[in-house]
Amino acid sequence: MATVSLKNLVKKYGNLEVVHSINLDVKDREFVALVGPSGCGKSTSLRMIAGLEDITGGEIHIGDRVVNELPPRQRNISMVFQSYALYPHMTVAENMGFSLKIAGRSQAEIDAAVADAARTLGLGELLERRPSQLSGGQRQRVAMGRAIVRKPDVFLFDEPLSNLDAKLRMQMRTEIKKLHAQVQSTVIYVTHDQVEAMTLSDRIVIMRDGHIEQVGTPDEVFRRPATRFVAGFIGSPTMNLREATVDDGKLVFGNGDTLPLPAEFRDSVTAGQKVVFGLRPDDLYPAGHGIHSGEAADVHTASVPVTITEPLGNETLVFVEFAGDDWIARMLNPKALQPGEKIDLSFDLSQAHLFDAATEKTLRR
Amino acid sequence: MRGWKPAPHVLLLLPAVIVLAAVVILPLLLSLYSSFTPFRLTRPDSIYTFIGFRNYQRLFTDKEFWIAFGRTVLLLTVALNLEMVLGLLLALLVEKATRGQRLLRTIMMFPMMFSPILVGFQFKFMFNDNVGIVNNALQSLGLTDRAIPWLIDGQLAFTSILIAEIWSSTSVFAIFILAGLMAMPREPLEAAKVDGCTPLQSFRYVTWPFVMPFAFIAMTIRSLDIARAYDIVKIMTDGGPAKRTEILWTLISRTAYSDARMGLANAMAYVAILLSILFTVMFFRQLAKARQQIGAEW
């Protein structure tokens, strides 16, 4: 069990800097997800923690040790790879017991540990098979078994579910969560899938272009995104984000359409300021079909035409035209709408976000 | 011809069968038959005298034949092992090269581009006790002041042949093993690092099992090569001095053409081929096992 801290961590390939001096403290037994689009530096950071990449600058602490110069084997970590990275010539049992064998443990001890892990992961019947005889989900489970057998200080997951199909991914997600509850270890989990990050982690680290954009609980990054990027990245369907200008208590969009300035931001903007207005589809709905059932404090209603609809059964995503652009609204208890039909659209402005157009930082205080 | 109408598949296969029969099956049967005769090239009618297994019986008590047989196996064993170790090291080095790897691979294959006859001449020249570069170098470096009789001393001659053989064919192993290394996925190696392996352990437990099938393919090819080795030995020592480097095929060719005893030589050849078959079967078994082990999909 251990904490992990990154202090001013930098990674350069030649002259190209891909991780720009990031800082992060992971608490003991915490589940932290690093999430971001591909090329944001999340995997590189994880591989630096694992010791598979050299550290260009800064320090990594695991527990109270600086591990910069330690090879992976001395860091007491284990890692689950996207491609499983099982040893093809070893059986499942040998794969899982390999680290203990290398550590020179007795065969009895190895067998016990492997049996224990196999029980946790439901791999009992597969112990004598080889990886080539397993399905993707089973291979991933073996990879996790290999990780837990050695009882490391820190688990590192590098996009472990990306190679699985959607259904299996959901199932394994639940298993990883259960596993973490059982083994009570520090976990750093890299993914590009914000749903995985939201569902699994205690805290989410959102990265972009080698910088950390925001660190927070799933609730924090969802409800109070610190930057325009986080607002757009977290949540599905994505938040409606549109540029506007502040003018006398109003937000004026490019084509002249206006919305009242949300009360929360009244004191944090000045007239003429360029801002980005953000509103999740959950907070934009045909009147009477919203989540907040009309009790929200600050609802503005406008009459807008429907462009298209995407019915999902329990709800319908309605694309509406407003401010010269398509906005996504979410309609609960859906009823049929025709393209071109004008509807009363409710904007729940108490849930709105405003970002400075230039710095892209939130204007929330 | 009416009434005789072969099925279409027989008809279609017939040309191939005729060609095969003419160039492979008939000569094979003829040579097999002649190994049961005292056939001498100088007395053509001796081919009609059938003597049963007498040639084979003679071989089993022929000390010279079994010494040549044993020497071939020795050459094969030593050369294959050394070639594999050297080829492996070479492949590992070349694989590490980040720049100019293509060039290195080409250079590595140079020895394979020379005819074995030329390799034999070149090494014969290099190992010459008077003018050869080897003695010259050893003497210039002050390591010895006498002319070492490389090709004249029996054991040294065998060693010289071994060196020529290894020089010319180590790259077979290097190329195959390099192909294995390059086809190898990187992640298991990284997993091994995280699992606590030192570089040596990573090689022992992860890299080697993966490239082993490739090494076995090279082994199979090379074992056939050496089991029929002839040219390098013929040029460098011609089995000499005093038959100290006589191997199977130099003995067989001497028996067949110099002594003109074709019947006996054919009997020897059939026994020699058994050796090749034995090694091929052995390496193919190993290959199948190794392939199954790494779960190869080829």
- pLDDT of B293 > 80? The answer is no
User: Which among A81, A98, A103 has the least Cβ separation from residue B187?
Assistant: A81
Contact predicate A12/A56, CB 8 Å: yes
The arithmetic mean of pLDDT across residues B10-33, rounded, is: 91
Inform me whether the C-beta atom of residue B193 falls under 8 Å from chain A C-beta atoms. Answer: yes
Do A183 and A278 reside in the same domain of the chain? no
> A211, A233, A255: which is the final residue of a domain?
A233
Tell me, yes or no, whether B262 lies in a domain: yes
CATH number at residue B273: 1.10.3720.10
Do A210 and A339 reside in the same domain of the chain? no
Do A344 and A270 reside in the same domain of the chain? yes
Do A204 and A350 reside in the same domain of the chain? no
Measured in angstroms, the CA of A202 and the nearest CA of chain B are apart by: 25
Inform me whether the C-beta atom of residue A135 falls under 8 Å from chain B C-beta atoms. Answer: no
Please report, for chain B, how many H helices and E strands are present, in that order: 14, 0
Alpha carbons A83 and B69: distance in angstroms, whole number: 50
Do A225 and A244 reside in the same domain of the chain? no
User: Which among A103, A130, A132 has the least Cβ separation from residue B196?
Assistant: A103
pLDDT at site B112: 87
Inform me whether the C-beta atom of residue A307 falls under 8 Å from chain B C-beta atoms. Answer: no
pLDDT at site B2: 63
pLDDT at site B296: 57
Beta pairing, strands A284-286 & A154-158:
unpaired
Do A127 and A163 reside in the same domain of the chain? yes
pLDDT at site A244: 93
Strand ordering across the sheet containing A31-35 = A77-80, A154-158, A186-191, A31-35, A203-208, A211-216
Alpha carbons B242 and A3: distance in angstroms, whole number: 77
> A184, A210, A233: which is the final residue of a domain?
A233
Alpha carbons A81 and A95: distance in angstroms, whole number: 14
Tell me, yes or no, whether A274 lies in a domain: yes
A-B contacts at Cβ under 8 angstroms: 74
Do A211 and A288 reside in the same domain of the chain? no
Inform me whether the C-beta atom of residue B206 falls under 8 Å from chain A C-beta atoms. Answer: yes
pTM: 0.80
CATH number at residue A73: 3.40.50.300
Alpha carbons B128 and B132: distance in angstroms, whole number: 4
- Structural domain count of chain B: 1
- Mean residue pLDDT of chain B comes to 88
Measured in angstroms, the CA of A210 and the nearest CA of chain B are apart by: 23
Chain-centroid distance of CA A88 in Å reads 31
pLDDT at site B52: 84
Tell me, yes or no, whether B266 lies in a domain: yes
pLDDT at site A293: 53
Measured in angstroms, the CA of A218 and the nearest CA of chain B are apart by: 30
CATH number at residue A345: 2.40.50.140
Tell me, yes or no, whether A98 lies in a domain: yes
Tell me, yes or no, whether B29 lies in a domain: no
Question: Domain range spanning residue B225?
Answer: 35-293
pLDDT at site A107: 93
Inform me whether the C-beta atom of residue B291 falls under 8 Å from chain A C-beta atoms. Answer: no
pLDDT at site A296: 57
**Closest of A33, A147, A64 to residue B194, by C-alpha:** A147
- What is the distance between the terminal CA atoms of chain B, rounded to a whole angstrom? 49
- Structural domain count of chain A: 2
pLDDT at site B146: 83
Measured in angstroms, the CA of A42 and the nearest CA of chain B are apart by: 17
| CA triple A66-A67-A69, angle to 5 deg | 115
Name A58's Cβ contacts closer than 8 Å, sequence gap at least 6. A6, A7, A8, A9, A10, A21
Do A127 and A43 reside in the same domain of the chain? yes
| Cβ–Cβ below 8 Å for A72 and B188 | no
Tell me, yes or no, whether A362 lies in a domain: no
* CB contacts, 8 Å: A50 with chain B: 190, 194
Tell me, yes or no, whether A195 lies in a domain: yes
Question: Domain range spanning residue A348?
Answer: 240-356
* CB contacts, 8 Å: B185 with chain A: 83, 85
ipTM value, please give it: 0.81
Inform me whether the C-beta atom of residue B293 falls under 8 Å from chain A C-beta atoms. Answer: yes
- pLDDT of B141 > 60? The answer is yes
Q: How many residues does chain A have?
A: 365
Measured in angstroms, the CA of B98 and the nearest CA of chain A are apart by: 15
- pLDDT of B1 > 70? The answer is no
Measured in angstroms, the CA of A188 and the nearest CA of chain B are apart by: 15
The arithmetic mean of pLDDT across residues B273-291, rounded, is: 84
Tell me, yes or no, whether B25 lies in a domain: no
pLDDT at site B229: 83
- pLDDT, one tens digit per residue, over B113-128 is 888 899 999 999 999 8
Inform me whether the C-beta atom of residue B288 falls under 8 Å from chain A C-beta atoms. Answer: no
pLDDT at site B153: 84
- pLDDT of B93 > 80? The answer is yes
Tell me, yes or no, whether B153 lies in a domain: yes
pLDDT at site A56: 93
pLDDT at site A304: 93
Low-confidence spans in chain A with pLDDT less than 70 = 1, 292-297
Phi, psi of A336, rounded to the nearest 5 degrees? -70, 135
| Cβ–Cβ below 8 Å for A51 and B193 | yes
Closest residue of A to B289, CA-based?
A: A89
> A174, A200, A233: which is the final residue of a domain?
A233
Tell me, yes or no, whether A364 lies in a domain: no
Closest residue of A to B290, CA-based?
A: A89
Do A43 and A14 reside in the same domain of the chain? yes
